[in-house]
Structure 1
Amino acid sequence: MQTYVALLYSIILGEGRRVVMSDLKAMAEGLGLKNVRTLVATGNLVFESGKTSIATLEKRLESAFERAFGRHVDIIVRSAGDWLKLAASNPFPAESVDAGDQVAVRVMRKAVAEDAISELRTRAAEDEKVHLVGGDIWVAFSRERPSSRLLAAANHKRLGVGTSRNWNTIRKLAEMVAT
């Protein structure tokens, strides 16, 4: 058995309806996934499965989600080893200690090209930073501004399928898969 992390792009089903993590866990268990755990109520799963391709796991989870909850949601899957590598590659360690909620990574299904990061950097505020590491987009957001132009610029249409998690969540998921 191998351990995996799955990240849902959205857990909003419609006005006033969110996916309940116990229902998400039950859905994953219904696929035969083992030792299924969730982290916070934002669509993070850790589970074990026989070794299979990431694409196959993503398709199985997305299909099951649509059957269970009535709408399609993109789901990004990484192996435990790849998740630990992602967490270890944080280009903003000092910022992460000071403000883990202001450092995030957009975990991508397909690696983002370097030229896309150049475009994002033009939208960053003076006190924001953007780095591409292993095809994923790391951002250190401004502590001074309540919103960032980077969020709108890093969307599916421009960069492809991906979903963002802050450093606190990244670190906790790494702890879950390391045990």
Structure 2
Amino acid sequence: MTKYAALLRGINVGGSKKLPMAELRQLMEGLGHDGVRTYLQSGQAVFATGRGDEDSLAEELAKAVEARFGFTVDVIVRDHAYLRAVADSCPFPAAELEARQLHVTYFSAPVTADRFAGIDPAAHLPEAFRLGDRALYLYAPEGLGRSRLAEALSRPRVGKGLIATTRNWNTVLKLVELTAGGE
């Protein structure tokens, strides 16, 4: 069995797309997943399964949420090895930063630097970003809510079929921890 994290985008934010975590766990167990746990209220669940791949598991969960709760939600599923690689490949000195200063945007597919070519990194210093494999690392010393760079990075249209969802560094590390073992 492989352990995965499901990242649901935009649930339980600002009073919209309410999805109680206990009901999400029940839904995922009903799909045949084992060891389902949720983390926080903002759309992270970990589970184990011996079937499917990341894309098919994400699609299955998105369809199940829509059928049960009546709204669409974007879902990205990543296995432990990928989550670990993202954490290990951080280009910023994560151990020296506060968690609110470092974020990872997970993409459902690879993105190239061309997508962000219109952004002048020097205009946003000391904020900075780096691209990884299906991930973007953002250093925002004043936090995400005050980041002009985060706003600029969100402007390039994600594109049809491409999903992006951002997590702070504490959540990145917690998902690595929660998906460890059993592989």
TM, length-normalised to structure 2: 0.86
8 A contact 1:123–1:153 mirrored in 2: no
1:130-145 aligned within 5 A: 130-143=129-142
Distance in 1, matches of 2:58 and 2:3, equals 14
8 A contact 1:20–1:41 mirrored in 2: yes
Distance in 1, matches of 2:34 and 2:144, equals 42
Question: Compared with structure 1, are the counterparts of its residues 123 and 27 closer, same or farther at alpha carbon in structure 2 (3 Å cutoff)?
Answer: farther
Question: Compared with structure 1, are the counterparts of its residues 55 and 17 closer, same or farther at alpha carbon in structure 2 (3 Å cutoff)?
Answer: closer
Point out where structure 1 has 5 or more consecutive residues left out of the alignment.
none
Distance in 1, matches of 2:48 and 2:118, equals 37
**How far has the Cα of 1:116 moved from its partner?**
1.9
**How far has the Cα of 1:106 moved from its partner?**
0.5
Kindly provide the amino acid, as one letter, of the partner of residue 166 in structure 1.
N
The aligned residue for residue 174 of structure 2 is 172
Distance in 2, matches of 1:90 and 1:135, equals 13
**Mean alpha-carbon deviation: is it higher for 144-153 or for 22-31?**
144-153
Distance in 2, matches of 1:77 and 1:156, equals 24
SS class of match (1:110): coil
**How far has the Cα of 1:123 moved from its partner?**
8.6
**Mean alpha-carbon deviation: is it higher for 149-158 or for 162-171?**
149-158
Distance in 1, matches of 2:101 and 2:143, equals 11
Question: Compared with structure 1, are the counterparts of its residues 54 and 146 closer, same or farther at alpha carbon in structure 2 (3 Å cutoff)?
Answer: closer
8 A contact 2:103–2:168 mirrored in 1: yes
Aligned residues: 178
Kindly provide the amino acid, as one letter, of the partner of residue 134 in structure 1.
D
What RMSD, in angstroms, separates the aligned Cα atoms of the two structures? 2.4
Question: Compared with structure 1, are the counterparts of its residues 5 and 123 closer, same or farther at alpha carbon in structure 2 (3 Å cutoff)?
Answer: farther
Kindly provide the amino acid, as one letter, of the partner of residue 53 in structure 1.
D
SS class of match (2:118): helix
Q: CA offsets, 1:102-125, max 9 Å, x none?
A: 200100001111112333454962
8 A contact 1:111–1:134 mirrored in 2: yes
**How far has the Cα of 1:36 moved from its partner?**
0.3
1:19-30 aligned within 5 A: 19-30=19-30
SS class of match (1:12): coil
Q: Percent identity?
A: 33
Distance in 2, matches of 1:162 and 1:123, equals 24
Point out where structure 2 has 5 or more consecutive residues left out of the alignment.
none
**How far has the Cα of 1:143 moved from its partner?**
1.9
**How far has the Cα of 1:154 moved from its partner?**
3.5
SS class of match (1:84): helix
8 A contact 1:108–1:162 mirrored in 2: yes
8 A contact 1:107–1:164 mirrored in 2: yes
